[in-house]
Structures are given as C-alpha cells and as structure tokens.
Amino acid sequence: MAKKGKRLKAVYEGLDRDATYTVDEAVKMIKGFAKAKFDETIELSLNLGVDPRHADQNVRGVVALPHGTGKSMRVAVFAKGDKADAAKKAGADLVGGDDLAEKIQGGEMNFDRVIATPDMMGVVGKLGKVLGPRGLMPNPKLGTVTPDVETAVKNAKAGEVQFRAEKAGIVHAGVGKASFTEQQISENVKAFLSAIVKAKPSGAKGTYLKKISLSSTMGPGVKLTVSEAAAS
C-alpha cells in the first residue's frame, strides 16, 4: 500500500472513520479535503448486496446528472448518411462506419462513449473483444444503440453517466468536480443514488445498499448514511 502524504495523514487523524454523514454533510467535508493543485474529481463508491455473476442480479444503467460531471466527453458514433450528419452536428468527435472500425482495431481509442444506429451493429459487433472489456460496447438498454443519435450525443456531452456493478457488487462513478458548488455536488450525488435505487434487480436478496462512500481524487473517503441514500 502506498504511503499517505503528510496532508492526507493529518486529515485521517481528524476523521472519524466509523461515523456516517448525510449527503450534504459529506459533500461539505469532501470539498474541504480537496486541496490538490488540480480540479479533483468527486467520486462515489457503493458496495451493493448483489452478485453480478447472476443475470437477475446485474445492476446497470445510465443517469443524467443535473450539473454534469465536469469532464469533457469524447464521443464516437457509428452511423451513415443523414444519421452521420446529425451526429456531427450534435458534436460527435468521431463519426464513421467500416473506416472507424478499422481505426479502432488499429488501436485508436481516444473516446469515452460509443453510440451506434441499429443498422450499424453488424460492424460494431466485430469490435466486441476490443470495446467490451472497456465497457464501451453500445447497448440499447443504455441508449447507445439508437436511431436518434443526435439526442444520444447531446446527452453524453451533457454529462450522462453510465454505471455497472463490478465483481463483488462494487459501483464507482465520478459525480462532479471539487470546483462545483456544494449544492451542485449534492444534487448530482442524490440523482446518482436515486438511479441506483431504481436499478435494484429482481434477484437482489437482503440488504441492497450495504455501504456508500464519497471522496475526492486525492482525499479520504467519507461514509454516507445508507438510510438517507436509500430515500433519495
């Protein structure tokens, strides 16, 4: 484990690691801890009572944060004709078909989201081994396989966040920047938590929200009161 710096050590010494806080209380603390020379990302981490290895316990979805993520999103779109033109006008960074697929197979992966029209999935399907492991494979359930590429691109650019439970039921997401106001961060956190609650799978047994923590890139994690989060 990497050694903690003097600043982080001082923060941990003054932090009750067993205490839990409301979203608003935690946000206030996290903003106070974010002292790095860059604009730290505010990160939410959840431990869910699910086993993603079972199909009926998968937790996956998408949520539009009210204030975006503060991150510039690069979007690649597989489309042709009028749909390709619409994607470009909406602000897509890369648009194409077989030519775009060749670039990706050649190692060009300078994008954060992939969107495709249904008729282009034959081309995109061949990239499953490349896009799949990175969580970039277009999926109709996430709105990334759609004939309305204009709306999909605009939503992605506006700060739409995709989430998926990893092994052991862990979900991580960036929900803003330290430069955001406390209210903006709180509203983003509450919107994300609401989406997680709504995404509870039918196969989930026992306690669904087990543990939730909020942190900044270089700061310590602060535990949230699960009961309040569940009511978001």
| Domain residue ranges of the chain, discontinuous segments joined by + | 18-68+160-230, 75-157
Q: CATH for 75-157?
A: 3.40.50.790
Per-residue pLDDT tens for 139-184? 998 999 999 999 999 999 988 999 999 989 999 999 999 999 999 9
What 8-state DSSP symbol labels residue 163? E
The angle, 0 to 180 degrees and rounded to 10, between the axes of the packed helices 149-157 and 82-90 is 20
Written in H, E and C, the secondary structure of 21-38 is ECHHHHHHHHHHHCCCCC
Per-residue pLDDT tens for 33-66? 998 999 999 999 999 999 999 999 999 999 999 9
Q: Hey, is 181 helix, strand or coil?
A: coil
Written as one letter, the residue type at 130 is V
Average pLDDT over residues 17-32: 92
Query: Encoding tokens for residue 182?
Result: 């406390």
| Intra-chain end-to-end CA distance of the chain, in Å | 34
CATH topology of domain 18-68+160-230: Ribulose 1,5 Bisphosphate Carboxylase/Oxygenase (3.30.190)
pLDDT, mean over the chain: 91
Q: Sorting pLDDT into bands at 50, 70 and 90, what band is 5?
A: low
pTM to 2 decimals?
A: 0.83
Average pLDDT over residues 71-76: 93
Q: What angle do CA 67, 78, 155 make, to 5 degrees?
A: 15
